[in-house]
Structure 1
């Protein structure tokens, strides 16, 4: 990719900075840092503020202060992980919902290097009364629904936190985590939407109750109804999903042979099938999965060769299915805050 035709991030907001990856133009399966989407609730922490030490406290036998260089000396693990913002594709909901109007680029894939969280918790000695683990980043600011400043905090149930593939990362693609993506430490929670992967992580606190912070109980909650909170439930596991990268929506093409390509991902099992429809869902054709096998937390690249001789307008659909039997729906689960959009990926092309 030459400098002259290199894509750029797509800005959704400047204060705080929220920018999409140019997902339709990214060919590498592992995304370079300059193309990682940026999702922030507050301004970036001051560069002098993030400590190069990690603190573990609360209901532990041995509170810990862990220097950055100490983590580097431990046995690291590498995880190829897809991270997707819970609001990715929010702009596609009908009726529309409020929030950052993400299209399809609030998603990334890369190799994160770090130490399993449970290793550090074992060192600290978690109390038998522990219920949840709270993760606090150094980013902070005022919310519209609160009078005071708050830090970004999220929690995980103890059982989830002890999963061996949840890591405290200190590198991305073999280099220190870029500052705008969480340096020096970032929690990485594979298979969950990326709000769980707390950036600029500084403090890990073990508690004996359910955490009630606003980014846990107000935001990142599915509200199925516009007028009330009946049936609300937390946002957690990634839905099965896909995106058509090429051709672009409303492209004009000549008759002949074209490649329809894209990516597919899931939070349960692995992607084992992507189907393409060229007639608005009346019939389906199997696409080719390109990167088999790949990391169990990574997206799959797929393609389909389309031979077309008849001119006219076409609607192209892509539908992914995972090994747990979950399939993308034709109609998404609408919810008031616009999380977890995963209806079939749809584009329109005109053959001339």
Structure 2
């Protein structure tokens, strides 16, 4: 191992959950080696040679696609950020159970594939279709039951028919890596990563609400600790930002230091990022770069500090829908959707 290069931070091994070292990555396209890994079960066993994708259910013309069929259809490539719904879970107060992700359950790259809409149109959806269920080959027992489940999620028909919801087969110009969903995975821009089902096994159109456990038990905001009152589904990413440099608890000298990071949203575009170097008493708007529709944006600020001491640095993003990163995150007992103002502390000597 080359110790001069960053590597993943392990959160669990069975199943494998690993975090991107986001603070040490300068590129906006994340390599396979450093793309975060989020799994509910062990990796599935499947082979390229026997792979077929059924599209069935509430349709007039069920389909069975080979990979060659899919790859011959009109395709598109999109740079998309994928964020685990549990990203930054470790920062919630009071603490919540689950993988204690810090800032690195987020990555992005270029995904190429066929719009899901194309496959659904070939199957001729019947009137009254409500949702599209996408099932993966990953399967196992949940911790809350002895039953065996495959990982499956549904999309509302409108989101499934969005022109940029993809059945992807390439990542960064090559086949999707096995650990990230080879040979096919769903890519749902602007939604948290749980919607982008890996190792797609089957697509089923239904005329009722899907009630699988990864839809109705997990990936639900429960605002109360001891009851399900007020529960709402996890869907669109919240507006968010992360400080990449300096590192939390870093020791600096007086002089000029670059503060930089990323910001992203599930609605519209990031239009403003502000930072504070005095614990939020005053805010300064910073420079933004690369305003792409589905990717994070880079931001930076040159901080001139003349006085020694300890400083709390904050970052706060605003999107084009007027959504602003919250002073206090929306607490929920499963720890999803953390988007509190990001903060680090540094010491200047």
Normalised-by-shorter TM-score class = over 0.9
Instruction: Indicate the residue corresponding to 1:284 in structure 2.
Output: 283
User: In 1, Cα distance between the equivalents of 2:155 and 2:12?
Assistant: 29
Which ranges in structure 1 are unaligned for 5 or more consecutive residues? none
Please report the TM-score for the alignment, with normalisation by the length of structure 2.
0.98
Q: How many residues align?
A: 349
Determine if the alignment matches structure 1 residue 311 to structure 2 residue 284.
no
Instruction: Indicate the residue corresponding to 1:90 in structure 2.
Output: 89
Instruction: Indicate the residue corresponding to 1:341 in structure 2.
Output: 338
Q: Is the 8 A contact 2:48 2:183 kept in 1?
A: no
Instruction: Indicate the residue corresponding to 1:273 in structure 2.
Output: 272
> Structure 1, residues 28-70: CA drift from partner, whole Å, max 9, x if none?
0111111000000000002448952211011111111111112
User: In 2, Cα distance between the equivalents of 1:133 and 1:320?
Assistant: 33
Moved >6 Å (runs of 4+): none
Q: Is the 8 A contact 1:50 1:138 kept in 2?
A: no
Instruction: Indicate the residue corresponding to 2:51 in structure 1.
Output: 52
Q: Give runs of aligned pairs for residues 165-180 of structure 1, distance below 5 A.
A: 165-180=164-179
User: In 2, Cα distance between the equivalents of 1:242 and 1:299?
Assistant: 9
User: In 1, Cα distance between the equivalents of 2:348 and 2:278?
Assistant: 14
User: In 2, Cα distance between the equivalents of 1:118 and 1:29?
Assistant: 28
User: In 1, Cα distance between the equivalents of 2:3 and 2:183?
Assistant: 32
User: In 2, Cα distance between the equivalents of 1:159 and 1:36?
Assistant: 29
1:102 Cα offset (Å):
0.2
SS at match of 2:248: coil
User: In 1, Cα distance between the equivalents of 2:23 and 2:74?
Assistant: 36
User: In 2, Cα distance between the equivalents of 1:51 and 1:240?
Assistant: 41
Range moving further from structure 2, 49-58 or 106-115? 49-58
The RMSD of aligned alpha carbons is 1.2
1:326 maps to which of 305, 315, 323: 323
2:347 maps to which of 342, 345, 350: 350
Q: Is the 8 A contact 1:50 1:200 kept in 2?
A: no
User: In 2, Cα distance between the equivalents of 1:94 and 1:262?
Assistant: 23
1:228 Cα offset (Å):
0.6
Q: Give runs of aligned pairs for residues 1-352 of structure 1, distance below 5 A.
A: 3-48=2-47, 51-291=50-290, 293=291, 295-352=292-349
User: In 1, Cα distance between the equivalents of 2:113 and 2:34?
Assistant: 21
User: In 2, Cα distance between the equivalents of 1:206 and 1:174?
Assistant: 30
User: In 2, Cα distance between the equivalents of 1:51 and 1:20?
Assistant: 32
SS at match of 2:78: strand
Which ranges in structure 2 are unaligned for 5 or more consecutive residues? none
